[in-house]
Amino acid sequence: MNVLIIGVTGYIGRAVAAAARRAGHEVAGLRHPGGHPLPEGVRAVDGDLADPASLTAVAKGFDRVVHVGPPLGEETDLAGVDALTAAGVPVVYTTGAAVLGSEPSDEDSDPDPHPLIRWRAEAERRVLAAGGQVVRPGMVYGNGGGLVAGLLAPKAAERGAGVYIGEPGVRWPVVHAEDLAGLYVAVLDRTGPGIWHGMSETVRLDELAAVLGDGRTVSWPLEEARAEIGGIADLFVLDQQISATKTRNRLGWNPAHTSLLDWLRARS
């Protein structure tokens, strides 16, 4: 297929582009003025995610549009969804685990979005109504990026102990970047609306902190964390138990990386 990836120069987008090319798809990437160079083998298509009205013309002619770009805010994100779906091309749209609450949930559970990203549930609804696909990744790690490498590991080095925000015991779903990229490739072959969970396991954040801190951990008070990293700190106290069983069974998705903690220990 001829696939347009929005966010192709980002952490997830680069992995998805490489996986899609390995699967034999032709890949183009949205490039806004002054943006980063595109990955090797990816054709540039000029456009700007911050200019939603332009996206309809950009998307026309492709077989699929994969949106792994960053959230820009309610008004811009929803206008962008409307513009992409207006092109008549099936959209694979990325949200995340935070659109679900703290109750045990799966692909069929109703969204219960955290206020920080409340509009993303509406974005999902619009994509599904247009016959598109929604991918909800957990916390992504590997390939040198993500919150583990970009926030938690440096914070552990700074404090001499692994940090977790708030109380111990909070659980998060996680996934390796390469496994997640494989999921997007599997989703490209789907037709009709669908929700898919990109989560290979659930990890306790205090146990993750212990590995990063060589057995030493410290709680990072929520107010202090908010002052340093902003509203994302609130997500670190959201305890989540989210199943990806339907995704695995229907897509035949079998992640190769099934233990973030073992993966980190092997690199220490």
Tell me the per-residue pLDDT of 16-36, one tens digit each, with 9 for 90 and over: 999 999 999 999 999 988 888
| Residue 222 contacts residue 155 (beta carbons within 8 Å) | no
Domain boundaries, the chain: 2-138+177-198, 140-174+201-265
CATH fold of the domain at 140-174+201-265: UDP-galactose 4-epimerase; domain 1 (3.90.25)
Residues in the chain: 268
The rounded distance, in Å, linking the Cα atoms of 231 and 31 is 28
DSSP string, 9-69: TSHHHHHHHHHHHHTT-EEEEEE-TT-PPPPTT-EEEE--TT-GGGHHHHHTT-SEEEE-P
- Does pLDDT of 91 surpass 90? yes
- DSSP 3-state of 74: helix
Quick one: which of 143, 162, 140, 165 has its CA closest to 152? 162
Written as six digits, the tokens of 126 are 């619009």
Diameter of the chain by CA atoms? Answer: 54
Whether 247 shows a pLDDT value over 90: the answer reads: yes
How far is 234 from 237, CA to CA, in rounded Å? 6
Q: Which of 115, 135, 116, 114 is nearest to 124 (CA)?
A: 135
Classify residue 213 by its DSSP letter. Answer: T
Residues 6+ apart with CB under 8 A from 231: 116
Q: Are 181 and 141 in contact (CB under 8 A)?
A: no
List pLDDT tens digits, range 155-189.
999 999 999 999 999 999 999 999 999 999 999 99
- In 3D, which of 95, 32, 91 has the Cα closest to residue 56? 91
Q: Please state the rounded mean pLDDT for residues 108-125.
A: 94
Supply the CATH classification number for the domain 2-138+177-198.
3.40.50.720
Contacts for 55 with CB less than 8 Å, ≥ 6 apart? 47, 49, 80, 83, 84, 87
pLDDT category at 80 given cuts 50, 70, 90 is: very high
> How does residue 94 score in pLDDT terms, banded at 50, 70 and 90?
very high
Residues 6+ positions from 104 with CB-CB distance below 8 Å: 241, 242, 243
Asked if the domains 2-138+177-198 and 140-174+201-265 are classified in one and the same CATH topology, the answer is: no
At 187-226, the pLDDT tens digits run: 999 999 999 999 999 999 999 999 999 999 999 999 999 9
- Cα angle value 50/186/26 (rounded, 5°): 60
Calpha distance 76→92 (Å, rounded): 18
Q: Inform me whether the pLDDT recorded for 262 exceeds 90.
A: yes
Contact of 24 with 41, CB cutoff 8 Å: no
